[in-house]
Structure 1
């Protein structure tokens, strides 16, 4: 059975009490250092000392994924690096629903403003250094590599993505935007490319606005590369070789011996937009309040986070709730099967809720007791739901019914 711990207090002090090399991953949404809504906890990005403690409690090769704001990503990444982590990458979570918080000028300067429309949040990808090879470290500690097959992305058309965007919650999108299910359930095979596209360092929300930013690219590079004739947009991804019209078809088993790096049988012959990345919309009302007694009023579109937070409700009034689907994807990417995930800035518990869904153990730190209570209710609800699903599955297995 999945287990979790919620530790209440300053995360630096709590981390110092944890043993060395005791967790498999750190996935967190820390303060961005933007003084968000005047909150004291957001006056700065976390200190280097906090990340140094995260490094200490991580197993060798363990990954850290930390959200940041676009204005302070550089400070977040530098402090993580100064703590001893190696920066491996940055994932961009792109969304179409951001609202520009711009002061627009009048008079002769009308049309000028002070801010761009927010459309992405960066996620620093860092790893604890280790000795030897990745393969040896994975064998010894279970950490150091990314769960590629567990996070592959199906090559479905833009139209299918847009249909999911119209739904009320993101729950129905689970299972349609990635292949592989829970961590560790899908083994790497020689035919892995048939399971979906390699996960990218871009995640988008599936909105029409984001999808429109990607070109319609049937077959991507491979389709254009076999053409003898110059086509409109042929070189939109860079100059490509042509004059291979006599090359054997993509369905021919010629082992790729045609002077071309991509094996014909591995070509992407799908159609539609190039926007085939893992996608996850911003947190839905259902996801935010699930497991809580009184979710409060249904806020109208355009309602500010300040109003959400100050409304008298026993629901989730945390101002920066991340979607569970997104946190589940990130956890699955960097946490070995059954591993322990740590969130030193737990907030209302989206990481913990996602960990229970994915079959991981979880440790969360939170300084605010009210938010910790919200997190516990949300995580308990997910634990109960997973137990119910397991009971139903066991009963189906027992009676042999579908």
Structure 2
């Protein structure tokens, strides 16, 4: 299915209220964190102005909510205010947009939402209070963070006020549904994760299913009656081998941790085989376990969950922070919407060259997350589009995309980046089709 996109300039709440119930397959977004990031209005003043406007409206006005009578208390939502009132305000802000997200998502649809470490908990509660079920938390760890610390002087020299940021949490939530997962996927296409499409390429040696004697491989002291039955053991080992073959071919089971591949982060992971080693013993093990640790056959049942890798970082998907090429791609070509610059062009309505958004997420990361939770050919929504990384990734992955952005300058940047990626994907598709047509000639 050909990727396509629809962009809405303005308040995402108003845009989502115009959308039909159960009309999108997934939501992957990077909303305001409520910490007044770099003094940006979208992370502070804009939220306050909207809240003040809504408070001044009569209760039956559309701005007061879909059913009227709701007046937001988000006047302080854009401030990093440690008081209970300030945090309740940010939570109310999250509840407001998450409620609309729940309505437009199909049953079983997933919401992935980035957050700041300091305010994640209030965002997650707001999402949960909207009606979502929290399924997991994905951590994106990186080595390039810079500590925003106030360092003391004098007799307190060496003391500061902040740690070096090295991760961003992503809330994984799902819209509830009435039936089984299988039935919901058959009906709506949503509710499950695309595991095989997001497996992590393994390295190192393959994990075998048994030894040369035909006995089932097992750590010392671990036994089951069926292990003395040759026929049962043969079937068991065949199942293990099949699962390991799948893990070897497709990669390791995706984890709830993503890293940037930097030396400082990779160095934090042990080089031992870790989970590929025996997982039961009475002595402390290299991976931190001690005492009897039983997985009740999960090594054999879940393909790719355990793999004989060399170096634990190989177990996780990695994606570096946004590169300059990724940030500005699509903004360095002349066209009707660009003004001539030195190496980068000014997009209409912007004061700087190229992509000047301060929190650009890597396209590879957004593509991975979209692929994890979006059905093939599905519709993905980003209510807080910014400079369009989610939309750009959707074009690359072949999804339909709906994006909302209230800043005209960022909207112009997002549109340029998305259109550039769409054109590139169309070119790639033509090349793939041409190659497929040529195959029979050389078969």
Fold similarity call, TM over 0.5: yes
State whether structure 2 residue 102 is matched by structure 1 residue 63: no
Aligned position for 1:184: none
Residues in 2 aligned to 1:296 and 1:114: alpha-carbon distance in whole angstroms: 41
State whether structure 2 residue 335 is matched by structure 1 residue 284: no
Task: Choose from 182, 186, 204 the match for 2:259.
Answer: 204
> TM (normalized to structure 1)?
0.78
Aligned position for 2:84: none
Task: Choose from 240, 247, 255 the match for 1:193.
Answer: 247
User: Displacement, 1:296?
Assistant: 6.8
Question: Relative to 1, partners in 2 of residues 1:298 and 1:221: Cα closer, same or farther, differing over 3 Å?
Answer: same
Please give the per-residue CA displacement for 1:329-363, whole angstroms capped at 9, x wherever unaligned: 00001000000000000000000000000010000
1:196-235 correspondence to structure 2 within 5 Å: 196-218=251-273, 220-224=274-278, 234-235=285-286
Question: Relative to 1, partners in 2 of residues 1:389 and 1:222: Cα closer, same or farther, differing over 3 Å?
Answer: closer
Which moves more between the two structures, 318-327 or 262-271? Answer: 262-271
Question: Relative to 1, partners in 2 of residues 1:48 and 1:222: Cα closer, same or farther, differing over 3 Å?
Answer: closer
Aligned residues: 341
Query: Please, which runs of 5 or more residues in structure 2 have no aligned partner?
Result: 45-76, 78-89, 205-241, 334-339, 345-349
User: Displacement, 1:103?
Assistant: 1.0
SS of match in other structure, 2:310: coil
More helix as a share of residues? 2
SS of match in other structure, 1:47: helix
Over the residues paired in the alignment, what is the CA RMSD in angstroms? 2.8
> TM (normalized to structure 2)?
0.71
Which moves more between the two structures, 389-398 or 135-144? Answer: 389-398
Residues in 1 aligned to 2:341 and 2:123: alpha-carbon distance in whole angstroms: 34
Task: Choose from 341, 344, 359 the match for 2:380.
Answer: 341
Contact 1:296–1:312 (8 Å) recurs in 2: no
Residues in 1 aligned to 2:269 and 2:364: alpha-carbon distance in whole angstroms: 23
Please give the per-residue CA displacement for 1:155-188, whole angstroms capped at 9, x wherever unaligned: 237xxxxxxxxxxxxxxxxxxxxxxxxxxxxxxx
State whether structure 2 residue 190 is matched by structure 1 residue 143: yes
Which moves more between the two structures, 92-101 or 147-156? Answer: 147-156
Task: Choose from 231, 235, 238 the match for 2:289.
Answer: 238
Residues in 2 aligned to 1:27 and 1:3: alpha-carbon distance in whole angstroms: 16
State whether structure 2 residue 148 is matched by structure 1 residue 101: yes
Residues in 2 aligned to 1:210 and 1:40: alpha-carbon distance in whole angstroms: 33
User: Displacement, 1:314?
Assistant: 3.1
Question: Relative to 1, partners in 2 of residues 1:221 and 1:123: Cα closer, same or farther, differing over 3 Å?
Answer: closer
Please give the per-residue CA displacement for 1:108-160, whole angstroms capped at 9, x wherever unaligned: 11110010000000100001011011111001000001111111112237xxx
Question: Relative to 1, partners in 2 of residues 1:17 and 1:395: Cα closer, same or farther, differing over 3 Å?
Answer: same
SS of match in other structure, 2:258: strand
Task: Choose from 108, 125, 137 the match for 1:78.
Answer: 125
